[in-house]
Amino acid sequence: MKPQILVGALGLSLLLSGCVISVDGDGHDGYHSDWKKQEKNNRKEVARLEPNLSTGQVMERLGVADFSEFVKKGDDQYHVLYYRTQRKEDDGVTTKDECTPLVLKNDQLVGWGDAALSMLNQ
C-alpha cells in the first residue's frame, strides 16, 4: 500500500509542478499594472494643486516622487519633484518624460508641468 501512496504523491507533484499562483498584481510582462491607478491618482492630485503649498504638503497629497532634483540658483533653492502621470513605453520602467514636474522655490510650490520646469533654464 505504501508504494502506491508514494507513486500517487509523486505523480500528483509532477502534475502540479507547473502551477503558478499570482497574489499581487497581474504579473503582465513581469511587472504589476498598478501604474494605471497611480497615474490616474497623480493626475487627479496634480489638477487639485494650488500655488504656495510646501514640499511636505505636496508629498502628503502625492506621496514619494518618482524622481527628485534640487538646484540652487543665486539665493533661491529649487526642488523639482516628478510624479508619473502618463505612460509612453510598455516596459515597466518609469522615465522623466512619463512624469509631470512640480517646481518648488524656497519650499513653496511655484508651478508644475513643462512650462514651470523651463523657467529654471531662463
- In the chain, what are the domain boundaries? 33-121
Residue 54: predicted pLDDT: 98
Contact 63, 41 (CB under 8 A): no
Query: How distant, in Å, are the alpha carbons of 65, 70, 100, 103, 107 from that of 35?
Result: 14, 25, 14, 23, 28
Measured CA to CA, the distance from residue 103 to residue 122 in angstroms comes to: 14
Q: What is the pLDDT of residues 13-54, one digit of tens each?
A: 544 444 444 444 444 544 456 878 989 999 999 999 999 999
Residue 89: predicted pLDDT: 75
Quick one: average pLDDT of 47-72? Answer: 96
User: What is the chain's mean pLDDT, rounded?
Assistant: 81
Level-2 CATH architecture, domain 33-121:
2-Layer Sandwich (3.30)
- What type of residue is 73? K
pLDDT for residue 10 is more than 60: no
